[in-house]
Amino acid sequence: MDELFDKAWTHIAVTRREAVCEVALARPEARNALNGVLMEELTEVARLLRLRTDILAVILTGTESYFSAGADLSASQARAGQATLMEARRAVMAGPDMCKAWDEIEAVTIAAVEGYCIGGASALAVSCDFRVMGEGAYMRLPEVPLGMNMSWRTLPKLVALAGPSRAKQYVMFGEACDAQRCLAWGFADEVVETGGALAAARRWAAKTVALPPLPVRATKEAVNAIAQATAQASIYMDRDQYLLMSRSADYREGIAAFREKRPGMFTGD
């Protein structure tokens, strides 16, 4: 039995096309929102893929209409309300652990993005080596306008891709970054017709599979080491920053304003 391909996953679908593995988010009832189960499965599948030599490329995708609505706020707030600070500190590692697991896959990873890719889903997408987006797709980080910091060990990757000023714009303002802007800023590697992202990702995967695998993996490892040389020093506190901000009045106001579809009234408390 091959645990990767034969397991009955709950919220993902895992298929194989010769030396290419495709992982599709499959929680349509919640627009692929990242709850605990989905993040655990994405982490597990990445760890199973990490050192496999028979898989040379991995495609991560959502549906034809959307990639993911991001972290499941309802689930995270319910956990936070019932947890001690120590338990909450451990619980908020689910997202960073998932992104780290995808970052550590030795095969080349390609995210195929259609529709919206929001919050934690954007963090997951930038944990892949390449991103291919449909023309109508967009990425957005709503965390700061909701009263929290962007964590999940994502900031170093955004700065490496887009530079400091654009990373600040993307994170601070919480505005949608459409496919063409993502391409211009370095968040996307190719933009194709709406509905064509998966086919394009398969083309990228085929190009990868045709290359000698050892230097491909060595190149990925070396480039990631250079790009992320100071990452740990710069983000080791981001989960504690999140825990601090999640206990602020502005965080509660940000979430309430989002749910009530009104502007937030922030005080710095």
Contact 11, 62 (CB under 8 A): no
Side-chain half-sphere exposure of 3, counting CA atoms within 13 A = 8
Q: How high is the pLDDT of residue 75?
A: 59
Q: What angle do CA 202, 203, 207 make, to 5 degrees?
A: 115
Q: What does the pLDDT profile of the chain (269 residues) look like in tens digits?
A: 799 999 999 999 999 999 999 999 999 999 999 999 999 999 999 999 999 999 999 999 999 999 999 998 765 554 555 678 888 888 899 999 999 999 999 999 999 999 999 999 999 999 999 999 999 999 999 999 999 999 999 999 999 999 999 999 999 999 999 999 999 999 999 999 999 999 999 999 999 999 999 999 999 999 999 999 988 888 888 889 999 999 999 999 999 999 999 999 999 99
Q: How high is the pLDDT of residue 86?
A: 87
- What is the edge-to-edge ordering of all strands in the sheet holding 177-178? 116-118, 138-140, 177-178
CA distance 93 to 241: 13
DSSP state, residue 256: H
Number of H helices, E strands in the chain: 14, 9
Q: How high is the pLDDT of residue 39?
A: 97
Q: Summarize pLDDT for 18-68 with one digit per residue, the tens.
A: 999 999 999 999 999 999 999 999 999 999 999 999 999 999 999 999 999
Contact 200, 132 (CB under 8 A): yes
Q: How high is the pLDDT of residue 173?
A: 97
Helices marked H in 28-93: 36-49, 73-82, 85-91
Q: How high is the pLDDT of residue 146?
A: 94
Q: Give residue 157's identity as a one-letter amino acid code.
A: K
Write out the DSSP string of 130-193.
Answer: EEEEETT-EEE--TGGGT----TT-HHHHHHHH-HHHHHHHHHH---EEHHHHHHHTS-SEEES
CA distance 45 to 97: 12
CA dihedral 139, 49, 150, 269 (to 10 degrees): 130
